[in-house]
Chains A and B, each alone.
Chain A
Amino acid sequence: EIVLTQSPGTLSLSPGERATLSCRASQSVSSSYLAWYQQKPGQAPRLLIYGASSRATGIPDRFSGSGSGTDFTLTISRLEPEDFAVYYCQQYGSSPQGYTFGQGTKLEIK
């Protein structure tokens, strides 16, 4: 079973700064099936990035994804107040693996 480990657990930054979130897989993941989500308190997750680097519909270009193999990164170039939330990476593998989510990174205001 593929395990996704996100780091750091909590990231404290100020608006305007750059955020770099990491997602490391226990074994190689197809880049085509690596996604990132944003979740705010009391809300459902929102898809940000799919296919490791493609932005979902309506996602601002300050969000970018990169990586391959076992190491993936979500970068937020300049933090806006609404970007402070929890971020999850997710991979999808062939049966019987299915989907796996990381444990999340909380991005908080410093």
Chain B
Amino acid sequence: QITLKESGPTLVKPTQTLTLTCTFSGFSLSTSGVGVGWIRQPPGKALEWLALIYWDDDKRYSPSLKSRLTITKDTSKNQVVLTMTNMDPVDTATYYCAHTESKWRDAFDIWGQGTMVTVSS
């Protein structure tokens, strides 16, 4: 059974850097075709994809946020870490990590419960 869980601060100040960790189980991020992505959702708004990392360390970023994002993986710990610099109140959102695999045509088949991050001074 695949599970993912996000962790990190619930409150960050403007201009600070946000670091979120996705801890997963039930799969290995060294298996061919597997990836973990980050998606966020501001309150009452739509989903927005942020970043994705594949088993082979290939990384993809949202073009509009690329300069602020870094995604890394620690296969031994079954974790994926997302950092977002220069946080702003508009970045207030629920942040989700999710599993993807080539057999799902890169759709996100399993999601974490999400973690709410508020950006405020």
Whether B62 pairs with A98 at a CB distance below 8 angstroms is yes
Given contacts A88-B46, A98-B62, A101-B47, contact A47 B109 (CB under 8 A): yes
Chain B nearest CB, measured from A5 CB (Å): 11
Q: Categorize the interface residue count of chain B.
A: 20 to 34
Chain B nearest CB, measured from A89 CB (Å): 10
**Count of chain A residues with a beta carbon within 8 Å of a chain B beta carbon:** 28
| B24 interfacial by beta-carbon distance below 8 Å | no
Whether A45 pairs with B108 at a CB distance below 8 angstroms is yes
Chain A nearest CB, measured from B52 CB (Å): 7
Instruction: Mark out the residues of chain B between 71 and 116 whose CB falls within 8 Å of any chain A CB in the assembled complex.
Output: 96, 98, 104-114
What separation, in Å, do the CA atoms of A102 and B47 have in the docked complex? 8
Whether B107 pairs with A90 at a CB distance below 8 angstroms is yes
Seen from chain A, the residues whose Cβ lies within 8 Å of a Cβ on chain B are 1, 32-33, 35, 37, 39, 44-47, 50-51, 54, 56-57, 88, 90, 92, 95-104
